[in-house]
Amino acid sequence: MTSYLCAVGTATPPHRIPQPQIASFMAEGLQLDAADTRKLRALYRVTGIAQRHSVLADYGRTNGSFEFFPNTPDLEPFPTVGQRMGAYRQYALPLSVEAVQNCLQQLPELQVTDITHLITVSCTGMYAPGLDIELVEKLGLSSNVRRTCVNFMGCYAAFNALKLAQAFCLADPQAKVLLVCTELCTIHFQKNKEEDHLVSNALFGDGSAAAVVQAQPAKSGYSLSLEAFHCELERDGHADMAWHINDFGFEMTLSSYVPKMIQKGIRQLTDGLLRKLPVKLKDIHAFAIHPGGRKILETIEQELGMSTHDNRFAYQVLRDYGNMSSATVLFVLRELLGSLTPAESGAPVLSFAFGPGLTLEAMLLQVHLA
């Protein structure tokens, strides 16, 4: 018995800002001199990101017209955690609802009252009564829907949500699980000139992704069966990817050593996943990899003998949206689902995501055509 990822819906905020324009905002906000501004612009150019989305219009504006950040040369007084959580509460619900509606449009046979479980995922904001209860009310879900929140696990959290969804479906074949990953990373801009913070500010964007998991494939189109999961901890990378709540927002640490940590552990992760399955790496030609950054994707390709074409969905999401933490891998799976052809029915799909710990998650899926 297995479970199926039957649909993925996505949503992004209305403010789509080109990467060079964000670099200009950052250089001004950090009060960089001409030499450091050139270095920052070079960093933004090599990210592989063309644009990102934000719930804040300020990243596409100049000082004097900001709505969230202070219109002062040094952005002081810098927004507090409370102000940032206020922005999260304002914007997270409508973005989540849009992603869910986009998802459910793909499953006309599923009514919102059929949903038995709701899993909400986020590491960029928390409050109570929270996003889960607001979604129940806004979407018209049953008041007795079973709610689970996966919080503060970072970029790999969607994998844990999918594991939970699978467990619910295995326990109850009638379960209809809706999971919603919503991340507003850009509300946590940190005014810090250290390299780790400069890299983080160059990568992260806002977005929401929703998915439906159930014990049966969708009645039409493509579904992905959840065949197996495997997780590894690369303890040497404990301090290289971290996420802390400080006085002025959530502070991301993303070391330049992360690709080396992934290089060290990706083969072990893949072998651990496939060891007990009748699938070999050489037989896998479809991939859905979390684009934590361009260097991470290149490292995985080198270690597993992949081509950039194999990784095209990850590069496409990175280019168009940046890294949206937990929602990102679902954006990649959405691109993959939209590209499938009948000839790929039965094909295995290998997926990875990475996050604090350093945590490495792997998942094997299989294409099903109704």
Sites in the chain below the pLDDT cut of 70: 236-243, 253-257
- How far is Cα 359 from Cα 229, in angstroms, rounded to an integer? 13
Residue by residue, DSSP assigns 233-268 as E-GGGTTTEEEEEETTEEEEEE-TTHHHHHHHHHHH
From 197, 172, 294, select the one nearest 248 (Cα to Cα).
Answer: 197
Which amino acid makes up residue 247? D
With beta carbons less than 8 A apart as the criterion, state whether 210 and 115 touch. Answer: no
Give the tens place of pLDDT for each residue, 167-203: 999 999 999 999 999 999 999 998 988 888 898 899 9
From 367, 328, 284, select the one nearest 159 (Cα to Cα).
Answer: 328
**What pLDDT score was predicted for residue 254?**
63
**What pLDDT score was predicted for residue 320?**
98
Q: Please pick, among 6, 103, 123, 155, the residue that the annotation labels catalytic.
A: 155
With beta carbons less than 8 A apart as the criterion, state whether 66 and 224 touch. Answer: no
Buried (b) or exposed (e) across 233-246, using 16+ Cβ within 10 A?
Answer: ebeebeebbbbeee
**What pLDDT score was predicted for residue 302?**
94
What 333-342 contacts at long range (C-beta under 8 Å, 24+ apart), as own/partner pairs, is 333/5, 333/8, 333/211, 333/224, 333/288, 334/8, 334/9, 334/10, 334/209, 336/286, 336/288, 337/8, 337/222, 337/224, 339/313, 340/222, 340/367, 340/369, 342/369
Q: Give me the count of residues in the chain.
A: 370
> Both tokens of residue 29?
């906000």
- How far is Cα 238 from Cα 93, in angstroms, rounded to an integer? 32
Q: At what angle do helices 157-171 and 328-339 cross, to 10 degrees?
A: 70
- Return the CATH superfamily for domain 222-369: Thiolase/Chalcone synthase (3.40.47.10)
- DSSP SS3 for 304: helix
**Residue 181 among the catalytic residues:** no
User: How many other C-beta atoms lie within 10 A of the C-beta of residue 39?
Assistant: 12
